[in-house]
């Protein structure tokens, strides 16, 4: 599997972690695209940053580019919610190694959310790396379940 392009976005609470991840991941060979913000503002409105990162992940994937996203905040909750509003995004909040890996392995999540105030920089980096490195299992039951979510997302039909 090729190294994915990584789209990253944050709010003010995740800026230190974001800056660390941009340089850390680039040093590991990832192409990192930073969707902002560019400067600290305690009153920033993170949804646009996270939505832009999600849009970029989906656009890359639709173009055949292996891409994943990272959205960061104080808790990661609002950022995950914002990213999940983008059609085609499956954003998962990771708070330990198991949730980071299972988000990819079982749910083929294409965006991970992490709370910068919930983890040390080292812990958060470990979660992000686990997410980025874990492949989707392609297990039939997971493919089927993701397909049902996609049907609802595109048509509004709930498939039993």
The pTM (predicted TM-score) of the whole model is: 0.96
* CATH code of the domain containing 147: 3.40.1400.10
Spatial distance between the Cα atoms of 152 and 125, rounded to a whole number of angstroms: 33
pLDDT tens-digit map of 4-61: 999 999 999 999 999 999 999 999 999 999 999 988 888 888 999 999 999 999 999 9
Query: Is 160 among the domain residues?
Result: no
Asked if residue 35 belongs to a known ligand binding site, the reply is no
- What the block records as the tokens of 111 is 């965006």
Asked if residues 49 and 70 have their Cβ atoms less than 8 Å apart, the reply is no
Note down the domain range covering 132.
Answer: 5-155
pLDDT at position 43 is 82
Q: What percentage of the chain carries pLDDT values higher than 70? A: 99
Q: Tell me whether residue 102 is in a domain.
A: yes
- CA-CA-CA-CA torsion sign (8, 75, 148, 131): positive
66 marked among binding-site residues: no
- Tokens 């891409």 sit on residue: 67
Flag whether 107 is marked binding.
yes
Does 54 show up as a binding residue in the annotation? no
DSSP3 helix / strand / coil % (the chain, rounded to 5): 50, 15, 35
**Residue 46 resides in a domain:** yes
Flag whether 33 is in a domain.
yes
Is position 74 within any domain?
yes
Query: Which residues are tagged catalytic?
Result: 79, 106
Q: Is residue 60 included in any domain, yes or no?
A: yes
User: Taking the alpha carbons of 66, 147, 133, 77 in that order, is the dihedral positive or negative?
Assistant: positive
**Structural domain count, the chain:** 1
pLDDT digits (tens, 9 = 90+) for 138-148: 999 999 999 99
Kindly indicate the confidence band of residue 127, based on its pLDDT and cuts at 50, 70 and 90: very high
């Amino acid at each position: 599997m090729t190294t994915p392009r990584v789209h990253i976005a944050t709010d003010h609470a995740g800026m230190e972690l974001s800056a660390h991840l941009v340089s850390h991941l680039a040093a590991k060979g990832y192409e990192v695209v930073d969707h902002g913000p560019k400067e600290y503002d305690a009153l920033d409105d993170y949804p646009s940053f996270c939505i832009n990162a999600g849009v970029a992940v989906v656009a890359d994937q639709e173009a055949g580019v292996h891409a994943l996203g990272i959205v960061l905040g104080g808790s990661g909750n609002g950022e995950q919610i914002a990213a999940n509003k983008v059609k085609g995004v499956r954003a998962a909040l990771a708070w330990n190694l198991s949730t980071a890996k299972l988000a990819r392995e079982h749910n083929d999540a294409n965006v991970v959310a992490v709370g910068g105030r919930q983890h040390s920089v080292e812990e958060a980096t470990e979660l992000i790396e686990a997410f980025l490195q874990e492949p989707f299992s392609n297990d039939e039951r997971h493919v089927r379940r993701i397909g049902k979510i996609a049907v609802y997302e595109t048509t509004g039909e709930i498939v039993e």
